[in-house]
Amino acid sequence: MSRRVPSRVRSGWPYDSPNFLWFRARYRRFVYVDRIAVAPSARGRGLARRLYDDLFAETHRRGHAHVVCEVNPASDAFHAALGFVEVGRASIHDNRKTVRYLQRTLVVTSFR
C-alpha cells in the first residue's frame, strides 16, 4: 500500500522529518527537497539537473528565495555545481547519523 505524500507542506500539516524541521526552525519561507532518486540505469542523462532547473524556475516564479535540502556525500559535487552551499549540520536519529544541510538562494525580483 502506498501513501500519498503532499507536494506542499503547509503550516500545521504533520510532517516530522528532522531535516524539514531543522529548516522550518530557521527559515520563514523555503522550498524543501526531501529526496531525488534516479535509477542507476537512467543516471548520467541530466535528469536530476533538469528536475532542479524546473524547480528553480517554479520557485522563482512563486517568489521564494531559498531551495533547501539535506544531502549525502555522494551528491556533494552535484549540489555544489548547482550552486548549493552548506548552511548547517546536525546529528539525528539518536546521534546515529550526521547530516549536512544545503541551501541555494535564488534572486527574487519584486515588481511592486
Give the pLDDT confidence of 66-105 residue by residue, as tens digits: 999 999 888 899 999 999 999 999 988 899 988 899 999 9
Q: Is the pTM of this model over 0.95?
A: no
Contacts of 70 (CB under 8 A, 6+ apart): 19, 22, 99, 100, 101, 102
How many angstroms separate the CA atoms of 9 and 32, rounded? Answer: 9
Strands (E), 16-107: 31-33, 66-71, 85-92, 97-105
Give the pLDDT confidence of 8-27 residue by residue, as tens digits: 555 556 778 889 999 999 99
How many angstroms separate the CA atoms of 45 and 57, rounded? Answer: 20
List the beta bridge partners of residue 33: 69
Q: Is 89 helix (H, G, I), strand (E, B) or coil?
A: strand
